Copies of this chain bind each other. A is one copy, B any other.
Amino acid sequence: MVLRKSLFVPGPTNIPDVIRKAMDVPMEDHRAPDLPEFILPLLNDVKKVFKTISGQVFIFPASGTGAWEAAVTNTLNPGDKVIAARFGQFSHLWIDMCERLGLNVQVVECEWGTGMPMETFREILSADKSGTIKAVLATQNETATGVKTDIGAIRNIMDDANHHAMLYVDGVSSIASVDFQMDAWGVDLAVSGSQKGFMLPAGLAIMAASQKAIKASENASMRRCYFDFGDMVKTNATGYFPYTPPMSLLRGLRASLDRIFDEGLENIFARHSFLAEGVRQAVSAWGLSLCAKEPQWYSDTVTAILVPEGKDANRVIKHAYHRYGLSLGAGLSVVAGKLFRIGHLGDLNELMLISAISGAEMAMRDVGIMEVEAGSGVAAAQEYYRKMGRALDHK
Contacts and interface: CB of A to CB of B under 8 A. Distances in A.
A92 interface: no
B376 A202 contact: no
A17 B25 CA distance: 8
A65 interface: yes
Contacts of A44: none
A286 B228 CA distance: 43
A24 B386 CA distance: 32
B203 A1 contact: no
B382 A379 contact: no
Interface residues of A, number: 101
Interface stretch (A120-128, A287-295, A316-324): A316-324
A119 to B, nearest CB: 31
Nearest to A366: B386
Interface of A: 1-7, 9, 11-17, 20-21, 23-33, 61-66, 68-69, 78, 97, 100-102, 193, 195, 201-203, 222-223, 225-228, 242-249, 263, 271, 274, 318, 321-327, 329-330, 347-352, 354-356, 358-359, 361-362, 365-366, 374-376, 378-380, 382-383, 385-386, 389, 392-393
15 contacts: A1-B349, A3-B349, A4-B347, A7-B27, A12-B244, A17-B26, A61-B62, A61-B66, A61-B203, A63-B244, A202-B246, A203-B246, A350-B362, A378-B382, A379-B379
